[in-house]
Amino acid sequence: MASDLLSGKKGIIFGALNEKSIAWKVAEKAHEQGAEFVLTNTPVSLRFGELDKLGEKTNSPVIPADATNIDDIRNLFDQTLKHFDGKIDFILHSIGMSPNVRKKNNYDNLNYDFLMKTLDISAISFHKILQVARKKDAINEWGSVVALSYIAAQRTLYGYNDMADAKAMLESIARSFGYIYGRDRKIRINTISQSPTRTTAGSGVRGIDGLMDFTERMSPLGNADAEECADFTITLFSDLTRKVTMQNIYHDGGFSSMGMSYRAMQMYKRSLDCDDCPDPEDIED
Ligand SMILES: NC(=O)c1ccc[n+]([C@@H]2O[C@H](COP(=O)([O-])OP(=O)(O)OC[C@H]3O[C@@H](n4cnc5c(N)ncnc54)[C@H](O)[C@@H]3O)[C@@H](O)[C@H]2O)c1
């Protein structure tokens, strides 16, 4: 659906790993809508070579940066401003990783060094990017910054572990920095709270298949997929949403407003009749 919602706009997209990534879909859609951007990810992830393909497809340079490393972020902004010979208009933060989730450490048995890494990668990196951008005065007035979040910031969901704490912090950074950046430069900062989505990061969530079945049954509009998330992200980068800032916006088919749905109730009733189902006492958190 080519159009020109982002015509003339320039940006940085963090977090496209492969074609399943939400950031990958955002890059494709932003390109369709006339934007130019720089793609970035960690040096390690760039070694897989996938991002170069997206770079070629969208005519975008690929610049490596570990989003926890201030020097990398500074270099990324310097190179981006040079490439465009001017400031940018949008940033996507689509970054998340928990070593505790990877190592299957339960929430009541966290490794605290890992927890610090989870917070640094998944939340504090957002602050670092915003702080560098502001110090370099890298974003044009009425620019838009979006980070991707999840409802585990507000509600407890089985298996989401310390990523829930990271998402709560991420959303708080969007509000705190949104005030400062809005007041000083008219730049808006929002988070999108996305449905569970089958990506590399999403597949790391324990019980993702059951979770996605549950949220699909609970959501009147069904789960939102990565492409739909990209469409919504484009609206937030566009000039049509200039007065939306400091918000966490649910993009989840209505899941966040539900308590119980008929479709989920039917499933629950069926499992009550189930003789082979495990005893809830035997299920680990
Ligand atoms: N998939 C889901 O179910 C879901 C739901 C809600 C929110 N989100 C969020 O969406 C965002 C994107 O995730 P995704 O689902 O597209 O998965 P993904 O695995 O494709 O993307 C995660 C990205 O984070 C990058 N990353 C990790 N450490 C980094 C670092 N130090 N510096 C820079 N980049 C780093 C990875 O290389 C990868 O590109 C994440 O914030 C995730 O928490 C995902």
Cα–Cα dist 62/76, whole Å: 10
Query: Looking at domain 10-282, which of 3.50.50.60, 3.40.50.720, 3.40.50.1470, 2.40.110.10 is its CATH number?
Result: 3.40.50.720
Q: 85: CA distance to ligand 1 center in Å?
A: 29
Contact status, residue 206 vs residue 115, Cβ threshold 8 Å: no
Mean pLDDT of 223-237: 98
User: How close is the Cα of 21 to the center of ligand 1, in Å?
Assistant: 7
Read off the pLDDT of residues 197-222 as tens digits, 9 standing for 90 and up.
999 888 888 889 999 999 999 999 99
pLDDT at 118: 98
Nearest alpha carbon to residue 23 among 84, 115, 96 = 96
Phi, psi (deg, nearest 5) at residue 145: -120, 130
Rounded to the nearest angstrom, the distance between the alpha carbon of 39 and the centre of ligand 1 is 14
**Which one has a higher pLDDT value, 202 or 186?**
186
* The residue to which tokens 């996938």 are assigned: 50
pLDDT recorded at residue 2: 60
d(CA 105, CA 234): 36
Where does ligand 1 bind, in terms of residues with CB under 6 Å?
14-15, 17, 21-23, 41-42, 45, 66-68, 94-97, 121, 148-150, 194, 196-197, 199-202
Pairing assessment for the beta strands 88-93 and 10-14 based on DSSP bridges: parallel
pLDDT per position as a tens digit, 88-118 = 999 999 999 999 999 999 999 999 999 999 9
The model's confidence at residue 145, banded by pLDDT at 50, 70 and 90, is: very high
Q: Are strands 36-40 and 88-93 parallel, antiparallel or unpaired?
A: unpaired
Locus of tokens 């393909």: 53
Nearest-angstrom CA–CA distance, 126 and 117? 13
d(CA 159, CA 98): 12
Q: Please say if the pLDDT value at position 175 is more than 80.
A: yes
* Interacting residues of 89 by C-beta distance below 8 A, sequence separation 6+: 9, 10, 11, 139, 140, 142, 143, 144, 237
What's the 33 CA to ligand 1 centre distance in angstroms?
23
